[in-house]
Amino acid sequence: MSADPRTIDAGTGTADVKIALRGVTKRFGSSGRGVTALDGLTLDIPRGQFFMIVGPSGCGKTTLLRILANLERPTGGEVDVRRTAEDRPENSMVFQGDSIFPWMTVWANTAYGLRMRGVPASEIRDIVGHYLDKTGLTAFRDAYPHELSGGMRQRVSIARAFANDPDVLLMDEPFSALDEQNRTLLQGELLRIWDETRKTVVFITHSVDEAVTLGDRIMVMTARPGRAKSFVDVPFERPRDVLELRHRPEYGEIVYDIWQHLRDEVDRSQKAQSTPPPRSLAQRLARRGGR
């Protein structure tokens, strides 16, 4: 049975915490006309957890990931990503769209982070070969991105991220542009690689099914400004088989639970997006259109 999201807290005080957020807020623009993307977010992510984030469009999911990647600074609050080893990168990020270098081969793309860190060539050969084998890309090692399908390009992104051996792996809807068949295959491959490494993963998705399939714990976010509405522990053992998991009756129950908490936030987000502008602004726009 799935846990009731209302009974699960943010996990603060958990032993061996890898990522700790305390009151994280992010505003864009000036105080009078700005937008609050995140509002007072507090949570702990333990080391080695596969942490999923779901929420309506515009709720600050990607902003949070960019803060964790040091691509954005929070307006308020504290972010603590606790390093394991200084000789490894703090994080690697896998984006929604293509993020591999079009002028590099599959091999060169996968080896890029290792080469930038000065890893010896013999180690690079072994590491890259291992992850190309794990992602089914060995036969395409000399191919360029334009010669690959969208699913294969995302395989390269995943291989590169794991090969670089980061402390934390950040994933921003990496499978959203793929068809259902490729998405399911890549979910399975990702789980197999993760089972080997047990890295801390923070993964954004719009798919509740994907969140339950992959995650140990799921945070449901509110509509903007983004806050943590509920946390759901996923009770399924590992390793997991993607297709077999979805046949289990408990799977449907936990997906339903999460949708119950997400539905109101999606409705609220859609209503906010369809709200007409203030009358004074509408009048100014009307006057401009009449000139």
13 — pLDDT class (breaks 50, 70, 90): low
For residue 247, tell me if it sits in a domain: yes
Residue 33 belongs to a domain: no
Residue 120 lies in a domain: yes
- How many domains are there within the chain? 1
From residue 4, alpha-carbon distances to 7, 148, 168 in Å are 6, 43, 28
The mean pLDDT value of the chain amounts to: 87
pLDDT digits (tens, 9 = 90+) for 22-47: 999 999 987 667 899 999 999 999 99
Domain range holding 190? 5-11+47-71+84-273
Give the contacts of 162 (CB within 8 A, at least 6 positions apart): 92, 131, 134, 169, 193, 197, 199
pTM for the model: 0.87
CA gyration radius for the chain?
A: 21
CATH number of the domain encompassing residue 188: 3.40.50.300
Answer whether residue 23 is part of any domain. no
Considering the domain boundaries, does residue 116 fall inside one? yes
Residue 41 covered by a domain: no
Listed residue (235, 239, 202) closest to 216, CA to CA = 235
The CA distance from 123 to 109, in Å, is: 16
Q: What is the pLDDT of residues 228-243, one digit of tens each?
A: 999 999 999 999 999 9
Structural domain contains residue 220 = yes
